[in-house]
Amino acid sequence: MTTRCKVAILHKATQQYVDAELIDGVTADEVNAAEAAWRPVLDEELKRMANESVPANRRPEHAHWDWRHKCEVTEGLLVYQMLGIEHDSKMQGLMLVQTAGVFCRLPNQKDKGLVYVMFIATAPWNSPVVVANPRFGQVGTVLIAAATQISLDLGFNGRVGLHSLPQSEDWYEKDMTDVGIDLKKNLRYFEMTPEQANNFIR
Amino acid sequence: MSTKKTMTLNLTDPEMGALEKLSAARDMSKTAVIRQALRMYQLIDSRLSKGEKLFFEDGLTKEKKEVVVL
């Protein structure tokens, strides 16, 4: 089942907030449309980066993510929720969360349930790693706020966890607790406590 | 978020005891525990129906034991 609600994202050029829709329960058709719109932009920018010999650590780390496949393997299962933000009939960001079977690692939250953000990405035209002048901002913020809201709704008191790609670590560091490198994934793991969640969505 | 529907749940004393214990241990309401359990049960049922098996692994010995789900 899909629900939609109004949110605001930042139009970077004018620094004005514009209305967008947060979709909880993104459909396969919507994911296909998003991939069809995102992929050419990503491929073109990756080609440009290769031609300009841009170092690997400055190229988008999630360019290989296949949202169609993620949708296909998670569709219909309550434990997974795919959310998106739509504006101007285009998907501006996508997020896949797991809502059961994942527990906190922070010592003072240990073994308490949380919402785990499996994948989160903004559209390539919104990503400063991909384009010089991103179109919309706050897409990630709205999606993480939505994960926090799901956590509250499920009785997890706002607890959220995720593994960050290296390019995004600075962003998560601001609002979440750095639990350190998870050697199993070789990625830094972050958690949002109920207190941090409360501050984040305020 | 989706709208919710209300139902009455009849549990035996041991079932209620287990639910209360989980609720306290996980710092969640009893409703939240039941919703979690449903999510996990649906996931496991879906994987098993595709022919996969569910195992528990001993953290130290790495010994695996299959979980039989009825």
User: What are the tens digits of pLDDT across the range A45-76?
Assistant: 999 999 999 988 888 888 899 999 999 999 99
User: CA-CA distance, A190 to A160, in Å (whole number)?
Assistant: 8
**Residues in CB range of A195: below 8 A, 6 or more apart:** none
Pairs of CB atoms within 8 A across A/B: 51
* pLDDT for residue B70 is more than 70: no
User: CA-CA distance, A104 to A93, in Å (whole number)?
Assistant: 26
Chain B residue numbers touching A1 (CB-CB < 8 A): 2
Question: A170: domain CATH number?
Answer: 3.40.630.30
- Domain with A66, as residue range(s), is 3-201
Best B28, B49, B67 member to test A by mutation, with max A CBs in 10 Å, is B28
For residue B1, give the chain A residue with the closest CA: A3
**pTM tops 0.90:** yes
Number of separate domains in chain A: 1
Q: DSSP states of A25-40 as a string?
A: S--HHHHHHHHHHHHH
User: CA-CA distance, A197 to A178, in Å (whole number)?
Assistant: 14
> Cα-Cα-Cα-Cα dihedral of A157, A116, A145, A57, to 10°?
140
Best A75, A77, A106 member to test B by mutation, with max B CBs in 10 Å, is A77
Going from N- to C-terminal start, the domains of chain B cover: 13-67
Q: How far is A112 from chain B (nearest CA, A)?
A: 5
User: CA-CA distance, A49 to A58, in Å (whole number)?
Assistant: 9
Quick one: average pLDDT of A133-138?
Answer: 96
* pLDDT for residue A85 is more than 70: yes
The secondary structure of residue A125, as a DSSP letter, is: G
User: CA-CA distance, A179 to A110, in Å (whole number)?
Assistant: 12
